Structure 1
Amino acid sequence: MTGGFEGVVDAKSRVVLPSKLRSELGDKFHLMMGFDTYIAIYPEENFNEMLTQLMQMKKSSDEYLVLGRYLLGNAYDGELDTAGRVLIPAVLKKFAKLDKEVHIMGVGDHIEIWDSETYQNNQILSAEMVQEARKLMNY
């Protein structure tokens, strides 16, 4: 999944997913907290792969407990309506600080939905990190 798109959260907490991403996402998918301030949407197959990796961890490890709670405790089954909209659960909407305008992008195996302002601020930080990395790599 690739590409970046602008969108809005409507009054009923729904976001229209771009048709390009919808076709790649499939019918069954899961919404969850991202590892930054965004909502991650994984196709069923990719979500199950992540779940399998999690289940292979030692159940008593701190990593398993933290990741399990973070990932699975905040994961929701997703569904598209006939207009291609996905309902954003209130918990995820609050977590990602989604207000009105959003940035939607395909990031390989998943989709990310960011608050537009948060995304822009993150891009500034990312650009600074890329410049530092280029210096370190003499690129």
Structure 2
Amino acid sequence: MIQLIGEFDCKLDAKGRLMVPSNLKKQLPSVEQDGLVVNRGFEKHLVIYPKKVYQDIVAELSKLNQYEKKTRDFIRFFTRGATELSLDASGRVLLPKSLLEFAGINADVVLACQFDKIEVWDKAAYDDLLDNEPDNFANLAEEVMGNKNRREEDGR
């Protein structure tokens, strides 16, 4: 399983191309052969997945009951705008204009690695998000992770 690490400040060029930082590219050894997929995030940002990771997610989605409206809606919204990316000879990827507009991304971006994906944020939006860190991060950690063992025992 891929474990991406790091946070990278980057700039898009006038055509919407993103130079993948070398330290990030080293963590994605098969990216040039396999490619990437970019998609909308749950908030106003984009998410870049290694293609294999995205294929695994789609495989999970295909197992859901598509006779349920909620499921169909979720699949539509989750996959909306998904686009394959490939690195050009200079190590850049072209981000689709429609996705950049959705996320309100201009020239300055932050790439924030989380496990097996890369969140792409407009720098100002990302800074605003992190400026609103909870007053007591320890309380949030306890709420999210504190009952982890109990949830596992209960089968949740």
Are the counterparts in 2 of residues 31 and 41 from structure 1 also a CA contact under 8 Å? yes
Q: Which amino acid aligns with 1:7?
A: C
- How many residues align structurally? 137
Query: Take 1:135 and 1:57, find their aligned partners in 2: how far apart are those partners?
Result: 31
Query: Take 1:98 and 1:88, find their aligned partners in 2: how far apart are those partners?
Result: 10
Q: Secondary structure of 1:2's partner?
A: coil
- 2:20 is matched with which residue? 17
Structure 2 unaligned regions, length at least 5: 147-156
If you compute each CA radius of gyration, which structure gives the higher value, 1 or 2? 2
The within-5 A match list for 1:44-59 is: 44-59=51-66
Q: 1:36 aligns with which of 39, 43, 46?
A: 43
1:74 aligns with 2:77: no
Q: Which structure's relative contact order is higher, taking Cα pairs within 8 Å and 6+ residues apart?
A: 1
Are the counterparts in 2 of residues 31 and 75 from structure 1 also a CA contact under 8 Å? yes
What stretches of structure 1 move > 3 A for 4+ residues in a row? Answer: 126-129, 134-137
Cα 1:23–1:70 change in 2 (3 A) is farther
Q: Which amino acid aligns with 1:14?
A: R
- 1:8 is matched with which residue? 11
Query: Take 1:31 and 1:19, find their aligned partners in 2: how far apart are those partners?
Result: 19
Q: Which amino acid aligns with 1:37?
A: K
| TM-score, with structure 2 as normaliser | 0.79
Query: Take 1:21 and 1:63, find their aligned partners in 2: how far apart are those partners?
Result: 36
1:123 aligns with 2:144: no
Cα 1:132–1:8 change in 2 (3 A) is same
Query: Take 1:129 and 1:35, find their aligned partners in 2: how far apart are those partners?
Result: 24
| TM-score, with structure 1 as normaliser | 0.88
- 2:101 is matched with which residue? 94
Q: 1:108 aligns with which of 93, 105, 115?
A: 115
Query: Take 2:96 and 2:136, find their aligned partners in 1: how far apart are those partners?
Result: 32
Q: Percent identity?
A: 26
